[in-house]
A = this chain, B = another copy of it.
Amino acid sequence: MFSEEDHSHMRCAMEEAKKAASMGEVPIGAVLVDASGVIVARSGNVTITQSDPTAHAEITIIRARCQEVGAQRIPDHDLYVTLEPCAMCAAAIAFARIRRLIFAAPDAKGGGVLHGGQFFGQPTCHHRIIVEHGLYAEESGQLLREFFAARR
């Protein structure tokens, strides 16, 4: 189901998640890959360091890439993220016309793809996207659990 490239890209997203944790941010990371398979943007969550509640990893890389190419839509890009996107990020992913979303761990508490409003299945979502998940799910979940356990 997942290719060697998928594994490699998700490992990069995991590295971004770990970097986020080292900065006191929630350890979630994401990378954006163009049609030729090259990583064109990568980030962890930066909501605290940037004082921006919208600066989730997914939003941050979508904004960076859109500004780089000078467009608000970047079809033919795949997005890898270590946790199920929330409703905000799911909608942003659809607005950007991302081709394929691959996420690691599910997020029962805050997810918006498999949980909550399940954005991609709503009639208010006007983009058809390929969604796959489960790659490095255990590692990502473990990283998040350790992070929150250490903060308690």
- B-contacting residues of A (Cβ < 8 Å)? 47-48, 50-55, 59, 62-63, 66-67, 69-73, 86-92, 95-96, 109-112, 115-119, 122-126
A116-B123 in contact given A53-B95, A54-B62 (Cβ < 8 Å): yes
Chain B contacts for A115, CB-based, 8 A? 124
Is there an interface contact between B116 and A119, defined as CB atoms closer than 8 Å? yes
Chain B contacts for A112, CB-based, 8 A? 87, 91, 117, 124
Q: How many copies does the complex hold?
A: 2
A66-B53 in contact given A72-B47, A124-B87, A124-B116 (Cβ < 8 Å): yes
Q: Which of A52, A91, A112, A123 has the most CB of B within 10 A?
A: A91
Contact of A88 among B69, B73, B92, B122 (CB under 8 A): B92
Residue of chain B at shortest CB distance from A66: B51
Q: Could you list 19 A-B pairs, sorted by A, with CB under 8 Å?
A: A47-B72, A47-B95, A51-B66, A51-B69, A51-B72, A52-B63, A53-B66, A53-B96, A54-B95, A87-B117, A87-B119, A87-B122, A91-B91, A109-B124, A110-B124, A112-B117, A116-B125, A117-B119, A117-B122
Contact of A116 among B53, B55, B122 (CB under 8 A): B122
Residue of chain B at shortest CB distance from A126: B110
Chain B contacts for A88, CB-based, 8 A? 87-92, 95
Chain B contacts for A63, CB-based, 8 A? 52, 54
Chain B contacts for A95, CB-based, 8 A? 47, 53-54, 88
